[in-house]
Chains A and B, each alone.
Chain A
Amino acid sequence: MMKFLTKINRNYFILLTLILLLSSFGGYFIVQAIIVNETKESLLKKEVLIINQIRETGEIPTIYPIVEVKKIHRKTIEKPLFKKIHIKDELEDELEPFLEYSNKVKINDSYYLIKLRQSTFENKDLIIVLALTLFVLLSSAFGISFFISKKMNKTIWSDFEHNLQEIENFNLKENKNIYLLKSDIEEFNRLNKVIKNLTKKLKTDYLSLKEFTENASHEIQTPLSIVLLNLEEVLQQDLTKEIFKKIVSSINAIKRLSTLNQSLILLTKIENRQFIADKTISFNDLVKRKLQEFASLVETKKLNVEFHIEQDFVLKMNDQLAELLVNNLLSNAINHNIKGGKIQISIKKKTIKICNTGKTNSLTDETIFNRFASGNLKSYGLGLAIVKNICETHDLEIHYLKNEFHCFTINPKF
């Protein structure tokens, strides 16, 4: 992942470098072609001068290695020929590049072989200088425009950057409106408008759901209490077995209804992210404390608890949810255990693992966390759904693995 500006600048830079290299090379070859052409033309001009001189004076001029004229006897007239050759420089004892022009001509009834040469050594230097100049000019022009566009982008995107930060800091739980900077760029203003509408909608949704969960809890639990207390009073009368049974089953149904209601409301609250992650939780301490709370249940079921800590698992999260997480996992490990069974808890820096012996079930990693997925008829199947929800809202992963033990493993997502 890279920043938008970095991405643009990088693409821009790559493009410019390509253009620069291509145009420098192109320039080099074009200049070279022009110079070769010029050289050829000048050699042809010299030939005309030499032919004229031979024709008028009969003198054969020779200046090695530039001009070489020989009388020949052949009568064939071949085409003039340009050739690149290397000639040894006597002074510097090096091979030097030359362009050679050779032609056989007939002057005053005699045949001559004319060889004209011009050093291309200086030409090469010239070409390089020219290409370099081109390179420097282009790269400085590109450099300046690159710098200017970068500066410009920064000012253009600064408002966007500010707005982005504002959106990042936006928190539904704080009763604060989002404040976005106005821009003179149409697309940015459109984006701002969309975000403003979205946050407004989010906020009303959040608040209405929050209000609903609060009301639903109170408004439902109170009548349930009345029903429950009345049934309990009726239970104290002299009743036939049949009526007694009906009342007990009604009491249990009411309790079940109340637990379900509370669990579903809790799930909604977690999904609505109404809990603020503001505490640093040591899972080591939390599990220890919870084990103490569960001690009597563990003892009753004659369970053997092994607790192994390699390093404390510390996480910033809501304390109620952390407590609920450990509570539900432990009570799950106890309730679905067999008498005289085992519970193994291990805490590492980035992992919490809770394993328990228990009866086999048909649940898998995919299905066990579903709402109302329950391994036996007596439990409601919401405890682990709540655990899963808590994990998901805290960037934690939870997995269920079934082998000799039933194991739940929690670790951070990244």
Chain B
Amino acid sequence: MKILIIEDEIELLLTISNYLIKENYICELAENLRKADEKLSIYEYDVILLDINLPDGNGLELLKTIKKHQIKSGVIIISAKNSLDDKINGLDLGADDYITKPFQLSELNSRIKAVLRRRQFDGTNILKFNEISLNTDSKSITVKGKEITFTKKEYELLLFFLINKNRVLTKEAIAEHLWGDNIDLADNFDFIYTHLNNIRKKIKKAGGTDYIKTIYGMGYKFTE
């Protein structure tokens, strides 16, 4: 999967690209509109991460060109301003998603995967981890070939884990992913715990392994 990251803050650009390279994406970087324009005229990308505030112009302008010439690319807008205007304009202009700074890498990865799934770039809609497999089309989960019924939140939580496997996820990051920014985070930790226990129980009952490791009571990691 090829990703173009357009972001003027070099350090941020490098941190994001290092992470995405580790996650087996091919990354190209552009720190301003001019460079991004150059790259876009030569290569095709599966996903474009687009910062709106760029030193030589507004990212939304570039979004118009992208949508004209690279219809297949998925676009995720990155904005420092939690401005609904930018969000609505961006989505109107054809962006697939919108993420506000500061964001966490696990969340960014989850959004990129969602865009790829929606655009069917992955070729497959099945996420596999040993005996567990999750179908994003039918939103179904099978363990050792046996289908298990999950609630919506349990499904979302397992999907988040599968996308961010081998990564430590804090409770806060999980709560934010499941319920959005509007919640009193601490209040919802109990709910996460309940959902997690249900997932563990259901997988074990089907003869699967519990891959969810608790880390010092503050985070979780889905790993062998």
Chain A positions within 8 Å of B, measured between CB atoms, are 214, 217-218, 221-222, 224-230, 232-233, 235-236, 241, 244-245, 248, 251-252, 254-255, 258-259, 262, 266, 293-294, 296-297, 300, 319-320, 323, 327, 331, 334-336, 376, 378-379
Contact = CB atoms under 8 A, between A and B. Distances in A.
A252 B191 CA distance: 19
Contacts of B179: 296-297, 300
Contacts of A323: 84
B187 interface: yes
Contact of A221 (B80, B104, B181, B183): B80
Interface stretch (B8-16, B65-73, B135-143): B8-16
Contacts of A227: 102
B183 A244 contact: no
Interface centre among B15, B85, B178 (most CB of A within 10 A): B15
Contact of A224 (B81, B101, B167, B219): B101
A233 B9 contact: no
B124 interface: no
B80 A244 contact: no
A336 B106 CA distance: 28
Contact of B172 (A251, A262, A293, A296): A251
B153 interface: yes
A236 B168 contact: yes
B186 interface: yes
B110 interface: no
B103 interface: yes
B53 interface: yes
A248 B218 CA distance: 8
Contacts of A254: 102
B9 A226 contact: yes
Contacts of B184: 335-336, 376, 378-379
B117 to A, nearest CB: 20
Contacts of A222: 9, 12, 80, 101
22 contacts: A217-B81, A217-B82, A218-B81, A221-B80, A221-B101, A224-B101, A224-B102, A225-B80, A226-B11, A226-B15, A233-B15, A236-B167, A244-B219, A248-B219, A252-B170, A262-B82, A296-B152, A297-B183, A300-B188, A319-B84, A378-B184, A379-B184
| 3 A-B pairs with the lowest CB-CB distances in the bound complex, closest first | A335-B184, A225-B102, A221-B80
A330 B153 CA distance: 21
Q: Could you say which interface size class chain B belongs to?
A: 35 or more
Contacts of B172: 248, 251-252, 255
B105 interface: yes
Nearest to B188: A300
A246 to B, nearest CB: 11
B182 interface: yes
Given A233-B19, A248-B170, A331-B183, A258 B219 contact: no
Contacts of B170: 235, 248, 251-252
Interface string B184-224: 11111001000000000000000000000001101100000
B86 to A, nearest CB: 11
Interface centre among A232, A233, A241, A376 (most CB of B within 10 A): A232
A220 to B, nearest CB: 8
Contacts of A245: 216, 218
Interface in B79-94: 80-82, 84-85
Interface centre among A221, A225, A320 (most CB of B within 10 A): A225
Contacts of B11: 226
A227 B9 CA distance: 13
Interface of B: 9, 11-12, 15-16, 18-19, 53, 80-82, 84-85, 100-106, 152-153, 167-168, 170, 172, 178-188, 191, 215-216, 218-219
A323 B183 CA distance: 16
A217 B83 CA distance: 10
B208 to A, nearest CB: 25
A233 B9 CA distance: 18
B219 A235 contact: yes
Contacts of A228: 102-104
B160 to A, nearest CB: 14
A384 B187 CA distance: 18
Given A296-B152, A296-B153, A232 B106 contact: yes
A232 B172 CA distance: 12
B23 to A, nearest CB: 12
B171 to A, nearest CB: 9
A262 B219 CA distance: 26
B80 A300 contact: no
Nearest to B51: A222
A255 B102 contact: yes
Contact of B84 (A229, A241, A262, A320): A320
A245 B172 CA distance: 13
B105 A232 contact: yes
A244 B218 contact: yes
Interface centre among B11, B152, B182, B183 (most CB of A within 10 A): B182
A378 B188 CA distance: 12
A244 B221 CA distance: 13
A259 B106 CA distance: 19
Nearest to B195: A300
Given A233-B15, A378-B186, 11 more contacts: A221-B101, A221-B102, A225-B9, A225-B101, A244-B218, A244-B219, A248-B218, A255-B102, A331-B183, A334-B183, A335-B187
